[in-house]
Structure 1
Amino acid sequence: MTAALLNNKTILITGASQGIGEQVAKAYAAAGATVILVARHQKKLEKVYDDITAAGHPEPFAICFDLLPAEEAEFDRLAATIAEATGGKLDGIVHCASYFYALSPLDFQTVAEWVNQYRINTVAPMALTRAFFPLLKESADASVIFVGESHGETPKAYWGGFGASKAALNYLCKVAADEWERFPNLRANVLVPGPVNSPQRIKSHPGEAKSERKEYTDILPQFVWWSSEESKGRTGEIVYL
């Protein structure tokens, strides 16, 4: 169903060493894309790279990069490095990297926790999208996907900085979509996976039964579709998978 939908596309995926990011990277490679794997865990990143090449999919790029401490110049250098490696080709980004501490009352949460969650969940997607904009606008068809979270839409007690940072991500997507109206080849959308059997979900909902969560295979075809030319013209949407 998703085979060959991403042929000849080059797509960058953050948080690609585990969880949703890893599975999206493998699904995109299986659909024909050359994926750029970005994550901070070198060994895990190498394993994803090896899995993709062993499956006979297009050889990916793997870049160890820590989003948390990165400043503007470092994002720009990353973009320049990737532009050189790909010959200036980039057809999309999937912002899968996410940062979650733990659920706790507001008076137990710290400023550092909020800052770090905002840096990974909101600032890093903004910085990467800005840095790669020159490449994206040269693509015939480019899709930027922000991976959202239901608590960014419906605030609840104890979710603090995580929910707020994901709500800001929704705003960032709408800003990008509105600004890109003059570029019909560009689009930006938020995909909200919901409860999935991922490391983050297990950490945030330890009492939840596995049967209450979706499997990766339930959501991956939709990720592929939203990065393919079949979704062209759909932009500025928050989509619940």
Structure 2
Amino acid sequence: MKTASLPADFQPQNDCLKDKVILVTGATGGYGRAMSKIYAEAGATVILLGKNVRMLEEIYDQIEASGAPQPAIYPLNLEGATEKDYYDMAENIGKEFGRLDGLLHAAVLLGAPTPFEHSDSETWFKVMQVNLHAPYLLTKHAIGLLKQPERSSLVFMTDDKPGTYWDAYMVSKGGIDQLAQQLAREYEGSGLHVNTVNPGPTRTQLQLRAFPALESNRDLPLPEQHKDLFLYLMSDRLEENETCFQP
């Protein structure tokens, strides 16, 4: 994939996502939670997908209290979801909203750092399920909804860190890079733009779990500090396809 950063002249308007319907997976996590609120504040109707209903309801209440468009909640545990669950999800979203203008895959499972010889196969399969199989299945069944508008955006989160000993996590992210590239090429020339974001180290629970002893964690940017990039990727200004964006 090509690499790019946020266009220097992009300055989002307050309602730059007005009337858009955007599905965010991992909506209770670091980037998922932050971008769900930011998309809603920009005028989008956000579908919050996650496994923790209490946390989803908390984010729902925060968005509603802000005066943003009323969001929707779709509880789904990606670790145990079957293909029929994703089919049903797409059917339900289609009946309620008729389309998707954007899909942000923010759900992630880190696993644990382990020398390869001692790696745990159960952890491997869980990480692959959440980080690779779930985005594949969800996108497969949501692609028809993404093709309804004249233009739409599909965004995957990728990573080239933390590296050694994180075999399942890194292999799953490598698979996401390839999946995004294949989809971008297949739908090139259509209204669907497919891109990835490699945000780099950010102050999230994922970062703190991976590197709990790093003093530099406190100096890392919060997900909200990358909001303009994530707004651009869902906006009508987006032109790129098959591109990995880095803040």
Deviation track 1:164-201 (CA, whole Å, cap 9, x = no partner) reads 10011000000100110242x10110101111111111
2:199 corresponding residue in structure 1: 193
Q: Is the 8 A contact 2:111 2:124 kept in 1?
A: no
Deviation track 1:38-78 (CA, whole Å, cap 9, x = no partner) reads 00001000000000000000000011111111121110011
Question: Which of structure 1's runs of 4+ aligned residues deviate more than 2 A?
Answer: 209-212
Aligned residue type for 1:125: P
- Answering whether residue 19 of structure 2 is matched by residue 8 of structure 1, we say yes
1:53 corresponding residue in structure 2: 64
Aligned residue type for 1:44: M
1:172 corresponding residue in structure 2: 179
Aligned residue type for 1:156: G
2:222 corresponding residue in structure 1: 215
Mapped to 1, the partners of 2:39 and 2:189 lie a distance apart of 28
Q: Is the 8 A contact 1:18 1:44 kept in 2?
A: no
Mapped to 1, the partners of 2:53 and 2:201 lie a distance apart of 27
Aligned residue type for 1:37: L
Q: Secondary structure at the match of 1:59?
A: coil
Mapped to 2, the partners of 1:121 and 1:212 lie a distance apart of 27
1:103 corresponding residue in structure 2: 113
Deviation track 1:75-119 (CA, whole Å, cap 9, x = no partner) reads 001100111111x12101000000112212112211111111111
Percent identity reads: 29
2:85 corresponding residue in structure 1: 74
Q: Secondary structure at the match of 1:190?
A: strand
Mapped to 2, the partners of 1:133 and 1:170 lie a distance apart of 18
Indicate the RMSD between aligned Cα atoms, in angstroms. Answer: 1.2
2:244 corresponding residue in structure 1: 238
> Number of aligned pairs?
235
Which is helix-richer, 1 or 2? Answer: 1
1:229 is displaced (CA, Å) by 0.9
Mapped to 2, the partners of 1:157 and 1:129 lie a distance apart of 29
2:163 corresponding residue in structure 1: 156
Unaligned runs of 5+ in 1: none
Which stretch has the larger CA shift, 167-176 or 99-108? 99-108
Mapped to 2, the partners of 1:215 and 1:24 lie a distance apart of 11
Aligned residue type for 1:230: R
Aligned residue type for 1:30: E
Normalised TM-score (structure 2): 0.92
Mapped to 1, the partners of 2:204 and 2:195 lie a distance apart of 21
Mapped to 2, the partners of 1:18 and 1:182 lie a distance apart of 33
Which stretch has the larger CA shift, 34-43 or 191-200? 191-200
Q: Is the 8 A contact 1:29 1:57 kept in 2?
A: yes
Which structure 2 residues correspond to residues 137-152 of structure 1 after superposition, within 5 A? 137-151=147-161
Aligned with residue 118 of structure 1, among 112, 117, 128: 128
Aligned with residue 140 of structure 2, among 130, 145, 167: 130
1:19 is displaced (CA, Å) by 1.2
Mapped to 2, the partners of 1:202 and 1:19 lie a distance apart of 11
Unaligned runs of 5+ in 2: 1-10
Normalised TM-score (structure 1): 0.94
